[in-house]
Amino acid sequence: MCGIVGYIGRREATPVLIQGLKRLEYRGYDSFGIATVGSALEVYKKTGRISDGEAGAASLRGSTGIGHTRWATHGEPNDINAHPHMDCRGRIAVVHNGVIENYSELKRQLQERGHIFRSETDTEVIVHLIEEHYDGDLLTAVNATLPYLRGSYAILAIAADTQRIVAARDASPLVLGIGDSEIFAASDMTPLLEYTERVIYLEDGDVADITPDRLDIYHGGRRVERPIELISWCVEDTRKGGFDHYMLKEIFEQPQSFYETIRAGIDDNVRQMIMGADEITLVACGTSYHTTLIFKYLAESLCNISVRAEMGSEFKYFVPPLRGLVIAVTQSGETADTIAALKMAKARNCSTLAITNVQGSTVTRVADSTLLMRAGPEIGVAATKSYTAQLAALMQIVNLRCERAFDDVLSHAHLAIGDVLLYDVRDAVALCSKADHAFFVGRGAFYPVAMEGALKMKEISYVHAEGYAAGELKHGPFALLTPETPVVAICTPGPTYSVMASNIKEMKARRAPVIALGVDGDKELAEIVDIFIPIPNTHLLVQVLTASVVLQLLAYHTACVLQRDVDKPRNLAKSVTVE
């Protein structure tokens, strides 16, 4: 959830750290801080956004440093709870992403031994444990500390009397960037793009000893080699490119990201896994879970194969019977619940496949095979292009199991996505922006599309929205319909069209205003609703995509009218790396 960054080399560390933290701010933005080693160990940390407080860090000097941008898990967002945290003597500083599950017990023991705690965070126990073992050798002290920790961590530690960073990872992501007499460390690759294309992904259990000219990685006390990989992304991918928000830029990038994912295809190994599966189970969280539900509807109705879609957060504790192929879907490749579920599937001897946007991420190293999305960096917290890229990957699986019946449909679907990008949704926005509550409804594959539309609305506009299968409204939610409660309904030709139209009339009879998405030219639907938004009259697979993009635009423009922070909605973070 949080983002950490480190630098050691020939430059002043502070500008590199600040810029890197800005790249990572989508992972958390409650507070930030940096620590540098120059003539002394100096620390600056502040509540709020980096842009509001970075001037205060400008005075920190030194060519070795670490930084952190926080999504609060233990202790409220304030200056004291912000990272980095220091030991009692001010000689050691640590930043940490993850959760130390046994911190209460460790804290009590440390306090009994005389340590003074300043914050409410779990992280502070780490730096006090390092302090107890530190005699001038930071690597030895970190190694002695790690066995005490239960939970997840990516740690960067520095000390006042040495030009050195020690990094450690277990169940939280950490990547190293290899430059010319300089080394970078970060939670993901986005802070590295301006400086290097060569990276090393640390494995769980790795400890790295980093100096400007040398990098040694240890695992289980033995020195190991980790491969240097080349990044395919570039720094321009992480910039707004003239758009007001990253989210809008990423919405407009969807025709390209969908097309690139389709064009990349499926390799022979993954093809064999898919074709040989009698049963498919998908595991995901949030928006990714909605894509798996869409896949379930499509695969079962079009291909007649058995599919289960499971929430990663529930899977670990309530494991369903497993057989066949298990697919983990995660944009970042670091979603903690999804990775835990995948490991459980492997322990039960299931074949495993990862669908992710980040090559080299944890899920790609856990799964037997990977089907890589081609969305590029997604900076906005609300998923947009990663959602449609996931659908591109999943629709390819549907196509494969249907003997490539949809080759032509998928190869041209990006054109239809492009057609809806400039739709005028102002009337619908005016209605939604005045509401405190809204319903999104659909049937079949459009039910999870409605769920995703509701999620987008609530997470960036803060309008409370719920997605339902249309027929379920009568089983309770109808009690909430009022003239101030808009309903967004997806109603396209197909076996449920008539009953869906009847559901809309029932909602209208309760005086709820209805915004309907239907195919272009559907005069009957346009006449019974308050606002009609036409989508191209194309194949079902494409209608799922175009309806989804229209709902993204509706949520985005509603949030803008309400003057919300679209790219950084309150209380949220992009990559959920803790349970």
All structural domains of the chain with their residue ranges: 3-236, 239-419, 423-579
At 457-508, the pLDDT tens digits run: 999 999 999 999 999 988 998 899 999 999 999 999 999 999 999 999 999 9
Active-site entry in 45, 249, 385, 574: 574
Residue 575's pLDDT is what? 64
- Paired sense of beta strands 514-519 and 487-490, if any: parallel
**Rounded-to-integer distance, Cα 164 and Cα 158, Å:** 6
At 308-327, the pLDDT tens digits run: 999 999 988 888 888 899 99
Is 90 exceeded by the pLDDT of residue 26?
no
Tokens of 147: 């066995």
DSSP states of 385-418: HHHHHHHHHHHHHHHHHTTTTTHHHHHHHHHHHH
Is 60 exceeded by the pLDDT of residue 577?
no
Is 90 exceeded by the pLDDT of residue 233?
no
Query: Confidence class of residue 578 from pLDDT cuts 50, 70 and 90?
Result: low
The DSSP H or E segment spanning 518 is: strand 514-519
511, 541 contact by CB (below 8 A): no
At 156-212, the pLDDT tens digits run: 999 998 999 999 999 899 999 999 999 999 999 999 999 999 999 999 999 999 999
The DSSP H or E segment spanning 30 is: none
Residue 234's pLDDT is what? 81
Domain 3-236: assigned CATH number: 3.60.20.10
455, 287 contact by CB (below 8 A): yes
The edge-to-edge listing of strands for the beta sheet with 151-159 is 85-86, 92-100, 151-159, 165-170, 206-211, 214-219, 222-224
Q: Which of these, 37, 35, 7, lies nearest to 162 by C-alpha position?
A: 37
**Rounded-to-integer distance, Cα 148 and Cα 31, Å:** 27
Long-range (24+ apart) CB contacts under 8 A made by 137-143 are 138/92, 138/162, 138/164, 138/166, 139/164, 139/166, 139/207, 139/209, 141/92, 142/166, 142/168, 142/207, 143/207, 143/218, 143/221
Q: pTM for this one?
A: 0.88
Q: Which residue has the higher pLDDT, 407 or 242?
A: 407
CATH topology of domain 423-579: Rossmann fold (3.40.50)
Cβ neighbours for 272, distance < 8 A, ≥ 6 positions apart: none
Phi, psi of 199 (to 5 degrees): -135, 160
Residue 73's pLDDT is what? 87
| Dihedral sign computed on CA atoms, order 494, 495, 498, 502 | negative
Q: What are the DSSP E strand ranges found in 18-160?
A: 31-37, 41-47, 64-70, 85-86, 92-100, 151-159
Question: What's the whole-number average pLDDT of the chain?
Answer: 95
Identify whether 491 is a catalytic site residue. no
Q: Which of these, 239, 231, 165, lies nearest to 17 by C-alpha position?
A: 165
Residue 576's pLDDT is what? 67
486, 512 contact by CB (below 8 A): yes
The percentage of the chain sitting over the pLDDT mark of 70, rounded to a whole number, equals 99
Helix axes 138-145, 124-133, angle to 10 degrees: 120
**Rounded-to-integer distance, Cα 542 and Cα 399, Å:** 13
Domain 239-419: assigned CATH number: 3.40.50.10490
Active-site entry in 2, 350, 491, 560: 2
Query: Confidence class of residue 61 from pLDDT cuts 50, 70 and 90?
Result: very high
**Rounded-to-integer distance, Cα 457 and Cα 439, Å:** 10
Identify whether 88 is a catalytic site residue. no
Q: 3-236 and 239-419: same fold? A: no
Q: Which of these, 174, 181, 177, 176, lies nearest to 211 by C-alpha position?
A: 181
CA-CA distances (angstroms) from residue 226 to 206, 207, 216, 292, 544? Answer: 10, 12, 10, 33, 42
* Structural Rg of the chain based on CA atoms: 25
CA-CA distances (angstroms) from residue 536 to 301, 387, 431, 487, 578? Answer: 22, 20, 23, 21, 40
At 351-396, the pLDDT tens digits run: 999 999 998 899 999 999 999 999 999 999 999 999 999 999 999 9
Is 70 exceeded by the pLDDT of residue 518?
yes
CA contacts within 13 A on the Cβ side of 191: 32
Is 80 exceeded by the pLDDT of residue 456?
yes
